């Protein structure tokens, strides 16, 4: 197989060298060249014909967002990974870049105290994303569960759906921005979400999606009371769980060990909703690399809950939903533009009672102003 051809774009000569040297160590990758700003990058793309570019957000002459907009216009299929700072400004710019069509992002190592540590973080975080976006599946650490026999029909112990749990990763911010705004304002159950993102990013993502949504979308917080018509996105670097206490369900946050190299992890959330809700769960596994969510989906299935996935054609990376499909755990695969309608249909037809006029927060639900 021919190596993945990469163009590195960054205004820092040190970063260009570190990235180039680190990527060149992998025989599946080939660094064709570098550029110190967006204008130079646009000049080099037609000459070098890369499969993927890494693109710094903040650069002189032409910054990453301006460059990305032109790349998407001129080379709509070219894979682009943004390289951004783990700051409020960097997070906001990264979300802007994803909305403009960036394939994914990696945060710059900072305050590591060691060049070797910074290089290792680039190797661990960037290279797998490059390979996944370019169609090279990483070796799975987990042994996938054996698919169920096609003749076995799973029976739900109770048809009602009392919570929707969503797991996603690569491509997830745009996917969530497509799905959550289409959930109706009177949605009768809570929604909990794990999106693999670092701190700051998850808060800004929740705020942006909430602004466009009929339901309230917020970053998860410790002891938040789950209520219908609201969605919570797990905060970066914290596992988010649903816990039952005093007959009510709350969010619990902790910094326990990473699972599937992730914190937050989808498997952690999925296991917790089974403990709190039993069979009354609808899980949704969306675009993302790796297999986080697979073992949690198995537990939801074993409990009698439902699992649906995003289909391969609409997923940026079909690793997570593909692992669920390969293991025979899903109850259906749907294109991104149909997922919200399918979620709503399944919940409404499950027999869940209608949403109360007053939700747990005391706010009265009204249709959004036009």
pLDDT in tens, 124-173: 889 999 999 998 866 554 455 554 544 344 555 558 999 999 999 999 99
The single residue of 56, 292, 311, 330 carrying the catalytic annotation is: 292
| Catalytic residue chosen out of the listed positions 103, 196, 314, 330 | 196
- Phi, psi (degrees; rounded to nearest 5) at 283: -100, 145
CA 162 and chain centroid, separation: 23
Residue 356: predicted pLDDT: 54
Is position 252 annotated as part of the catalytic site? no
Asked if the domains 4-133 and 163-348 are classified in one and the same CATH topology, the answer is: yes
In angstroms and rounded to an integer, the radius of gyration of the C-alpha atoms of the chain is 21
Rounded Cα gap, residues 357 and 228, in angstroms: 10
What pLDDT shows up at residue 146? 53
Hey, what CATH class is 163-348 in? Answer: alpha beta
Query: Tokens representing 22?
Result: 């680190």
Give the pLDDT score at 103.
Answer: 95
Question: What residues pair up with 244 in beta bridges, in sequence order?
Answer: 249
Q: Is 342 helix (H, G, I), strand (E, B) or coil?
A: helix
The reported pLDDT for the residue numbered 197 is: 95
- Beta-ladder partners of 217: 231
Can 292 be counted among the known catalytic residues?
yes
pLDDT value for 357: 43
Which structure tokens are listed for 319? Answer: 């690793």
pLDDT for the residue numbered 156: 55
List 169, 210, 213, 227, catalytic entry: 169
Q: What angle do CA 270, 274, 279 make, to 5 degrees?
A: 125
How far is the C-alpha of 152 from the C-alpha of 341, rounded, in Å? 28
Give the right CATH number for 4-133 from 3.40.630.30, 3.40.50.2300, 3.40.640.10, 3.40.140.10: 3.40.50.2300
Segments making up each domain of the chain, as ranges = 4-133, 163-348
Residues of the chain with pLDDT under 50: 141-142, 147, 149-153, 357-370
pLDDT of residue 363: 42
196 is catalytic: yes
């Amino acid at each position: 197989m021919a190596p993945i051809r990469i163009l590195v774009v960054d205004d820092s000569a040190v970063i260009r060298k570190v990235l180039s040297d680190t990527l060149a160590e992998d025989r599946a990758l080939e660094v064709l060249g570098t550029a110190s700003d967006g204008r130079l990058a646009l000049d080099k793309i037609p000459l070098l014909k890369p499969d993927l570019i890494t693109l710094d957000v903040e650069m002189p002459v032409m910054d990453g967002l301006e460059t990305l907009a032109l790349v998407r216009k001129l080379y709509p299929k070219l894979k682009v990974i943004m390289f951004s700072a783990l700051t409020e400004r960097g997070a906001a710019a990264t979300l802007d870049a994803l909305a403009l069509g960036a394939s994914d992002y990696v945060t710059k190592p900072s305050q590591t105290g060691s060049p070797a540590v910074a290089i290792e973080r680039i190797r661990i975080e960037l290279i797998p994303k490059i390979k996944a976006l370019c169609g090279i599946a990483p070796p799975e650490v987990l042994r996938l569960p054996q698919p169920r026999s096609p003749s076995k029909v799973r029976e739900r112990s109770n048809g009602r759906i009392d919570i929707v749990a969503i797991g996603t990763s690569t491509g997830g911010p745009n996917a969530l921005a497509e799905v959550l705004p289409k959930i109706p304002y009177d949605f009768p159950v809570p929604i909990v979400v794990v999106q693999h993102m670092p701190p700051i990013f998850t808060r800004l993502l929740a705020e942006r999606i909430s602004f466009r949504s009929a339901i309230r979308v917020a970053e998860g917080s410790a002891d938040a009371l789950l209520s219908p018509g609201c969605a919570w996105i797990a905060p970066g670097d914290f596992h988010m769980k649903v816990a039952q206490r005093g007959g009510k369900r709350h969010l619990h946050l902790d910094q326990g060990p990473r699972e599937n190299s992730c914190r937050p992890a989808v498997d952690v959330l999925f296991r917790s909703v089974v403990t709190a809700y039993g069979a009354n769960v609808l899980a949704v596994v969306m675009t993302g690399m790796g297999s986080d969510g697979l073992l949690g989906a198995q537990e939801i299935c074993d409990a009698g809950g439902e699992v649906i996935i995003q289909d391969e054609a609409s997923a940026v990376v079909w690793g997570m939903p593909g692992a669920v499909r390969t293991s025979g755990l899903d109850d259906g695969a749907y294109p991104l533009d149909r997922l919200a309608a399918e979620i709503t249909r399944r919940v409404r037809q499950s027999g869940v009672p209608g949403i109360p006029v007053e939700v747990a927060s005391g706010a009265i639900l009204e249709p959004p102003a036009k």
